[in-house]
Amino acid sequence: MATKRPRYMISVDNKMFEAIEDFRFEHRFQTRSEATAELIRLGLAAIEAQEEAAQPDSRKSAQEK
């Protein structure tokens, strides 16, 4: 099945490979690629949430003045 999405290959150690496979089967992803993409999305969302939590809320500081 052809796709227009960008593709690239990664190498992981055995422990990470097993963790990805466990995630894949636990969440019933059909392919390793789908599971890996979801893990990346979850990781990026976690980073974004951390960055937002670290930023001072400008509305809150304006109300305190």
User: Considering only CA atoms, which of 39, 44, 42, 3 is closest in space to residue 21?
Assistant: 39
Instruction: Tell me what the mean pLDDT of segment 6-32 comes to.
Output: 96
* pLDDT one-digit tens code per residue, 22-55: 999 999 999 999 999 999 999 999 999 999 999 8
Q: Which two tokens stand for residue 17?
A: 């490979």
pTM of the model: 0.75
DSSP states of 1-56: ----S--------HHHHHHHHHHHHHTT-SSHHHHHHHHHHHHHHHHHHHHHHHS-
> What's the gap between Cα 52 and its chain centre?
16
